[in-house]
């Protein structure tokens, strides 16, 4: 089964008034509402502080206990999240949101048996709680129990026919088991629920691209970037497809938009550089890779590729700088050693060239190219100073 990331949809911070909140003090309620104010503005730590105050004033304040667990989960403090969700169940044993959230937490910790048991308890308590079916489906999919995962997501849709996450998970898992038609139909259903949902268009583009239906793939990617103009992955894929069609101008435009949308979407830099190289714009390709190297100073491939393009222009002295950076970052990268040897040889620095050819053979002793490399070593050894 191909690896897909399924959508876990927890009920974190989706509070509803509990009967256990009846004895909440006015001060606790005020602190709770202050926490909600901060959470809506993304200030999670401040929200947690207010909710701590609320539960200190009213220890059985279920909504505050529950949301405090959610805040600590978002703050990457799972032990505290578990502690407060457990407290919810101590106060209100039938709270399905707390059960489901604990199941989610156990899933994140790789405790699948415990997660499954907790979520099944939530379902037994409230068979119409759709979110629990979604999370149980995720666990089963992770355990490669695909049919059962599908059944649970379908149950979620029986409860909530327009549940977006259930549809998305079904679309992904259908594709992972080769049911492309079902995946397409499900993504189309998603678009009836949430019009102009860029991610749905993007996934349809991926499917049609995989089927080599370039026209449909382009059409869906274009819808994706219309819905979300800074969608870097969609722009990158458009660039790739236009490059396949030898439409270099459109390809470059979309690669540049991908970089603009997400300067850390590194594939777009590499693809743009390759496009410039293939269209005899080597200087532009070098500049793109130099820009990338500033963001990826530990990537030997980028330095090697800059060196290769400089060597292609017979700028071997400049190429040496980047090849040396590449082998400095990763002494075990054979391509950089070989290319460094090539430029050293071109500059008549034969003794050092031999060392790097030999290092390349040492790193990949079974390479079919080694015989040719040995011939180069012999030739250079005869003329080395």
The CA distance from 298 to 291, in Å, is 14
pLDDT grade for 57, boundaries at 50, 70 and 90: very high
pLDDT score of 385? 58
| Of 9 and 183, more confident | 183
**Cβ neighbours, 10 Å, residue 30:** 15
Q: Is 204 in contact with 187 (CB distance < 8 Å)?
A: yes
pTM: 0.83
Return the CATH fold of 212-296.
1.25.40
| pLDDT one-digit tens code per residue, 337-347 | 999 999 999 99
State mean pLDDT over 272-277. 98
What own/partner pairs with CB < 8 Å and gap ≥ 24 does 303-310 have? 303/329, 303/336, 304/333, 304/335, 304/336, 304/339, 305/270, 305/273, 307/336, 307/339, 307/340, 307/343, 308/339, 309/273, 309/277, 309/282, 309/285, 310/286
Q: What is the pLDDT of residues 128-164, one digit of tens each?
A: 999 999 999 999 999 999 999 999 999 999 999 999 9
Is residue 164 a contact partner of residue 132, using CB atoms and an 8 Å limit? Answer: no
Q: What is the pLDDT of residue 3?
A: 36
Least confident of 48-52, 72-76, 93-97, 379-383: 379-383
Query: Is 212-296's fold the same as 305-385's?
Result: yes
- Fold classification of 305-385 is 1.25.40
Nearest C-alpha neighbor of 326 from the set 310, 303, 353: 303
Domain boundaries, the chain: 212-296, 305-385
Residue 1 confidence (pLDDT) above 80: no
Give the count of beta carbons closer than 10 Å to the beta carbon of residue 337.
Answer: 25
């Amino acid at each position: 089964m191909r690896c897909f990331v399924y959508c876990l949809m927890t009920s974190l911070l989706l509070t509803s008034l509990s009967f256990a909140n009846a004895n909440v003090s006015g001060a606790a309620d005020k602190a709770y509402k202050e926490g909600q104010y901060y959470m809506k503005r993304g200030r999670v730590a401040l929200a947690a502080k207010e909710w701590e105050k609320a539960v200190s004033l009213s220890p059985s304040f279920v909504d505050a206990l529950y949301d405090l667990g959610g805040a600590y989960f978002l703050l990457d403090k799972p032990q505290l999240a578990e502690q407060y969700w457990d407290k919810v169940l101590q106060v209100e044993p039938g709270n399905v949101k707390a059960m489901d959230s604990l199941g989610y937490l156990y899933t994140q910790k790789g405790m699948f048996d415990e997660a499954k048991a907790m979520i099944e308890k939530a379902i037994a308590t409230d068979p119409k709680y759709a979110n629990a079916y979604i999370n149980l489906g995720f666990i089963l999919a992770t355990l490669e129990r695909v049919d059962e995962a599908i059944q649970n997501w379908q149950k979620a849709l029986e409860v909530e026919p327009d549940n977006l996450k259930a549809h998305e998970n079904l679309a992904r898992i259908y594709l992972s088991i080769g049911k492309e038609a079902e995946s397409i139909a499900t993504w189309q259903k998603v678009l009836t629920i949430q019009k102009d949902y860029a991610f749905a268009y993007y996934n349809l583009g991926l499917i049609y691209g995989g089927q080599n239906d370039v026209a449909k793939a382009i059409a869906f990617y274009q819808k994706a970037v219309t819905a979300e103009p800074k969608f870097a992955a969609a722009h990158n894929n458009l660039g790739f497809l236009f490059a396949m069609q030898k439409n270099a101008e459109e390809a470059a435009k979309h690669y540049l938009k991908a970089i603009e949308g997400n300067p850390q979407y590194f594939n777009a830099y590499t693809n743009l550089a390759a496009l410039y190289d293939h269209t005899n714009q080597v200087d532009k390709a070098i500049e793109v890779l130099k820009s990338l190297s500033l963001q990826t100073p530990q990537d030997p491939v980028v330095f090697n590729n800059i060196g290769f393009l400089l060597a292609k222009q017979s700028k071997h002295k400049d190429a040496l700088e980047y090849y040396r950076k590449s082998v400095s970052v990763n002494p075990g990268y054979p391509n950089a050693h070989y290319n460094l040897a090539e430029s050293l040889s071109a500059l008549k620095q034969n003794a050092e060239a031999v060392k790097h050819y030999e290092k390349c053979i040492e790193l990949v002793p079974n390479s079919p190219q080694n015989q040719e490399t040995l011939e180069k070593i012999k030739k250079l050894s005869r003329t080395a100073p």
